[in-house]
Amino acid sequence: MTAHAGHLPTVHEAPPVMIVPMVVLAVLAVISGWFNLTGGFARLMGEEGEAHSIVDGLFGIFTHSPLPWISLIVAGSGIFLAYAMYSRKSISAESIGRTFKPFYVTFSHKYWLDELYEKVIIGGVLLRGLFKGFNFFDSKGVDGAVNGVANGAAGFGGWLRKSQTGQLQLYGLAIAIGILAIIAGVFIFA
């Protein structure tokens, strides 16, 4: 973002058609949390929760564990850092980016998850690998077997055809062998 900031045309405020719904949603987002301060909303929905005071509802959560504090501090320092960098410009975003270059690059590429998904998993493993392999198997393996049977039948017929030479002597020989085979069969099985 920061690296391109200088190239952007003058940034201006969004038009009212976008601002108004956002403001309405922001107000609702803030006040909707208050509905359940005393556990009243949970009871309204049929939850068997116990009632507690407004103070308890507001600050009770901070007494249970340090996690809310940690997240608040992280969020707060993030807001402060952004303010210092982009609004007051007292810290140079470019120099931070240079100092923490490995982190900066990793974060700006979102841990390369999109690349991993698009190029490696979908493009590589699935499309170019597995799916293409299936397609190859389908045309060479499955369909190859079908065509193989057809070619085999045609080939066998082509080979068998050669026995029809038109030579009467050969046919006579075949008839003689056939008769002998029948006689042998009768003697063996009868």
Q: Does 142 bind another protein (CB under 8 A)?
A: yes
Distance from C-alpha of 160 to C-alpha of 154, rounded to nearest angstrom? 10
Q: Does 135 bind another protein (CB under 8 A)?
A: yes
Least gap, CB of 141 to another protein (angstroms)? 9
**Distance in Å from the first CA to the final CA of the chain:** 97
Q: Does 171 bind another protein (CB under 8 A)?
A: no
Least gap, CB of 118 to another protein (angstroms)? 13
Contact indicator for 19, 13 with CB cutoff of 8 Å: yes
- Interface region with another protein, contact rule CB under 8 A, candidates 38-46, 69-77, 111-119, 137-145: 137-145
Which one of 18, 105, 132, 180 is in contact with another protein (CB under 8 A)?
132
Residue number with CB closer to another protein (72 or 142)? 142
User: How far apart, in Å, are the Cα atoms of 99 and each of 11, 79, 103, 171?
Assistant: 28, 20, 9, 96
Least gap, CB of 24 to another protein (angstroms)? 30
**Alpha carbon 62 to its chain's center:** 38
Q: Does 150 bind another protein (CB under 8 A)?
A: yes
Token readout for 158 is 């082509």
- Interface region with another protein, contact rule CB under 8 A, candidates 36-44, 72-80, 83-91, 140-148: 140-148
**Length of the chain (residues):** 190
Least gap, CB of 122 to another protein (angstroms)? 8
Q: Does 53 bind another protein (CB under 8 A)?
A: no
User: How far apart, in Å, are the Cα atoms of 78 and each of 68, 71, 72, 89, 121?
Assistant: 15, 10, 10, 15, 33
Q: Does 140 bind another protein (CB under 8 A)?
A: no
DSSP type of residue 9: P
User: How far apart, in Å, are the Cα atoms of 42 and each of 32, 38, 51, 89?
Assistant: 13, 9, 10, 45
Q: Which residues bind another protein (CB under 8 A)?
A: 126-127, 130-132, 134-135, 138-139, 142-143, 145-146, 150
